[in-house]
């Protein structure tokens, strides 16, 4: 495989906004469960079925798993975004299209990072505040799928369009 071109990308205003919102959302995923832990009952919901109904319970300390997973995913995506030349693309990367492809890929990774963190805040909110779960019901899993699938789908189509 030929060496891909290296491009020094600068973040646009939109990229900076998405990046900053991602960091804020990550902070929310970390702060919310830690702040609410003392007030939680000893047993909290830990699993929801396809209809959004609780079908599993665990000790309240398990709420701390969610921010750990969110932070792990966040930093993996953040690091991947620093090396767009190492990512997979549905088109061949050339000197002519490298900047466009890399910029699109890094923006999607930032958007995906934001989506993942928002999704984790959403899940934490459902677990911490039972009244939220009662009102969300069936559309909650669909929202989660959309938040992840939309940026990835966009990237695939944008890459193909911007060969």
pLDDT in tens, 41-75: 999 888 877 666 778 889 999 999 999 999 999 99
Contact by Cβ (8 Å): 155, 104: yes
What proportion of the chain, given as a percentage, has pLDDT over 90? Answer: 45
Three-state SS at 59:
strand
Among all chains, which residue has been given the structure tokens 């928002």?
118
Ramachandran class of 121: left when φ > 0, alpha when ψ lies in -120 to 50, beta otherwise: alpha
For residues 15-29, average pLDDT? 95
Query: H or E element: which one contains 106?
Result: helix 98-128
Domain contains 42: yes
pTM: 0.82
Domain count, the chain: 1
Domain contains 2: no
Domain contains 4: no
Domain contains 56: yes
Domain contains 81: yes
Span of 27-31, 32-36, 112-116, 120-124 with lowest mean pLDDT: 120-124
Domain contains 8: no
Host domain of residue 98:
13-161
């Amino acid at each position: 495989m030929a060496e891909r071109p290296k491009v020094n990308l600068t973040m646009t205003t939109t990229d900076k906004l998405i990046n900053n919102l991602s960091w804020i959302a990550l902070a929310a995923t970390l702060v919310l469960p830690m702040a609410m832990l003392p007030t939680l009952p000893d047993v909290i919901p830990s699993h929801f079925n396809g209809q959004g109904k609780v079908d599993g319970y665990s000790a309240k300390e398990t709420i701390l798993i969610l921010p750990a997973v969110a932070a792990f995913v966040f930093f993996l995506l953040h690091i991947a975004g620093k090396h767009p030349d190492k990512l997979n693309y549905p088109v061949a990367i050339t000197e002519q299209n490298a900047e466009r492809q890399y910029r699109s890929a890094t923006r999607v990774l930032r958007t995906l990072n934001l989506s993942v963190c928002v999704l984790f805040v959403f899940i934490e909110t459902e677990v911490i505040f039972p009244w939220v779960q009662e009102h969300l019901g069936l559309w909650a899993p669909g929202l989660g799928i959309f938040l992840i699938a939309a940026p990835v789908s966009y990237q695939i189509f944008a890459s193909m369009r911007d060969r």
